[in-house]
Amino acid sequence: MSLALKQVFNKDRTFRPKRKFEPGTQRFDLHKKAQASLNAGLDLKQAVQLPHGEDLNDWVAVHVVDFFNRINLIYGTISDSCTDQSCPVMSGGPKYEYRWQDENKYKRPTALSAPKYMSLLMDWIEVQINNENIFPTNVGTPFPKTFMQVAKKILSRLFRVFVHVYIHHFDRVSQMGAEAHVNTCYKHFYYFVTEFNLTDHKELEPLKEMTSRMCH
């Protein structure tokens, strides 16, 4: 990553603290394996494929955390231009509005400003990935039956961050010279969720045209 990009994507601007894998764990080794494929310049379509002999749940867990960190960082870089005034509704253009719903305060889908939605989303994801009952960190501890369901929900909601950033803040991304970095991250995410069928096609609709240009 160039120096300019390193300054753009610095830790202080991360929207949330980075979640790390503990060295010595199987998850850490898998994370390193995934990173090595990317750093070797392997085609992204190949890089997302499940390595021989690895468990799919582990592979998905590693990527969910990694995408959370990266997308968190991308949103952090444009968050100063995403305000209650500029983005009173969390949306992806006039056709797509995203409402927030959770198990606590927002029992029904509720219209919120984009920054409020993002804040709740990142908090919610953090709670899921730090929950040992959902994302176990010890080798040998089985994943719960609901793991894939939770992973799909997290990834679908993270996709909405891409939608909002691309449709409403891409000029800011370009201004900072971060376009190539964000595009690579998007392609990596897209290939991963489609490889393992982790996001409903309906969710992918808002960026369909851009994706067909970028990913095929």
Known binding-site residues for Zn(2+) equal 82, 87, 164, 169
Burial of 95 (0-12, 13-18, 19+ CB in 10 A): exposed
Q: Which of 58, 82, 48 is nearest to 161 (CA)?
A: 82
Q: Is 6 exposed, middle or buried (0-12, 13-18, 19+ CB in 10 A)?
A: exposed
Longest dimension (CA), the chain: 50
Write out the binding residues: 82, 87, 164, 169
Query: Is residue 184 within a helix (H) or strand (E), and if so which, with residue range?
Result: helix 179-195
Question: Within 13 Å of residue 211, how many CA atoms lie on the same side as its CB?
Answer: 19
